[in-house]
Chain A
């Protein structure tokens, strides 16, 4: 559906994006795009949508109108209630459009229709754009940090709604997020960017195996646990955690038995995106020398 080759975006002298290997986004893909601030995530979306100058190739059969996007910031005029904005953008009547009414009900937006945009809360503003974006029913939809700035409860609820809406939906979905739980719930492929370059691209399960092993066991990073697990192979993990890579079930059982015996709480995962991400970044920064050495 979208094929990207040798894409380069520059802002003045700064190279914001430099994709060397081909990237392909296909029908039905659920792609998560992750990276630190300034990694080039939003720039990539803008290049695909033709909003920034670039060199290289973005080959697609899709027209711009067949792509939908929820930008980081979405503003509307403040001169009228949002129901008129919805009706003008979608060129439809809310009362007569069953699908739109269904979406409004689904996102519990009905009570907001007579309010002006500036009086909506952060979550309500996000839901307004989500409704408009989903009504486009585009072949591919980009969500750029939809939930940033929202409280935990609203964020969880919103992502659950989007996840539910996209069940059994064949359209492709691209999500930029700093929340790994969101990516975990909504995506099955990842594109990891750093300083404008692609660190890794592929199915989450394959990338996990490449950077972390078959599975990982995670425990709290405290003095007792550090002493207990000294000498064991570890992989990169957030500061408050210690992560052990496992190459197979036997390795897993060996660690888990040891931890249980010492009364240590643990978590097992074969898809932890945060740990996958930090290890991909670490490997990239060390020039690919820091390979995962999983426990056998």
Chain B
């Protein structure tokens, strides 16, 4: 039976579970690829040839951020809230698979899936869109950033689903969050610099803002001060931690009083 540690079998189970979710595959893999190819063809045509690669890069990097948001925020929340509605996590918990272990297995399997989706997205985009070749450090940096953003988004999605326990409100909240993040991080056509100052302050506490706006400098090997980027990660992680603790408190198993 179970000890309190992650097992390869539980991880393999969660990977199968993630791959079996068509919603995540459609919105996390196919959607960003199609959007990036479409946007690239429509938008870059309006720019002079010398600027097209940079525009392509901007489209590529912005839509790359859709992958963690679609798979680990929306897709995961939809999948996990349906599991909660059917009491599947509780059933596993009653078999001795504790909540932290379940979360860890889901986190790792979903991150594996997200990295796979990002690799597929990058390879396909490189075949169809003209992108500049990144420096190796930028690729490693991107990998770390994706893992961190993905982890934080999954913890938020997991906690929201635990707090509501139902698909409907969970989906509504994560969808609202998804669009709010897209707007705040400048992925919906309006630049962060065009927002009022207090909204800009909020946007600057979200790591995706820096990915859409500044990451191209790192990709191209330019010097970039990452201090504010790191602070945004800490702020975003703190937000996730607060929601997570709230969800743990709400779903705790009761002891005698």
Contact = CB atoms under 8 A, between A and B. Distances in A.
Contact of B97 (A79, A84, A89): A89
A75 B256 CA distance: 28
Contacts of B253: 49-51, 64
Contacts of B7: 88, 91
Interface residues of B, number: 28
A136 B96 contact: yes
Contact of B13 (A85, A92, A132, A136): A85
Q: A interface, how many residues as a size bin? A: 35 or more
A176 to B, nearest CB: 15
A26 B10 CA distance: 34
B7 to A, nearest CB: 5
A98 interface: no
Contacts of B19: 79
B9 interface: yes
Contact of A50 (B9, B83, B88, B255): B255
Contacts of B86: 75
Given A85-B13, A89-B95, A91-B7, A77 B88 contact: yes
B17 interface: yes
B91 interface: yes
Given A71-B94, A74-B91, A80 B256 contact: no
Interface string A61-97: 0001100110101111111100011011111100000
A233 interface: no
A136 B10 contact: no
Interface of A: 47, 49-59, 64-65, 68-69, 71, 73-80, 84-85, 87-92, 132, 135-137
Give the top 8 A-B pairs by smallest Cβ distance, nearest first: A79-B20, A88-B13, A50-B253, A75-B86, A80-B16, A65-B96, A50-B254, A58-B256
Interface of B: 1-2, 7, 9-10, 12-13, 16-17, 19-21, 83, 86-88, 90-92, 94-97, 253-257
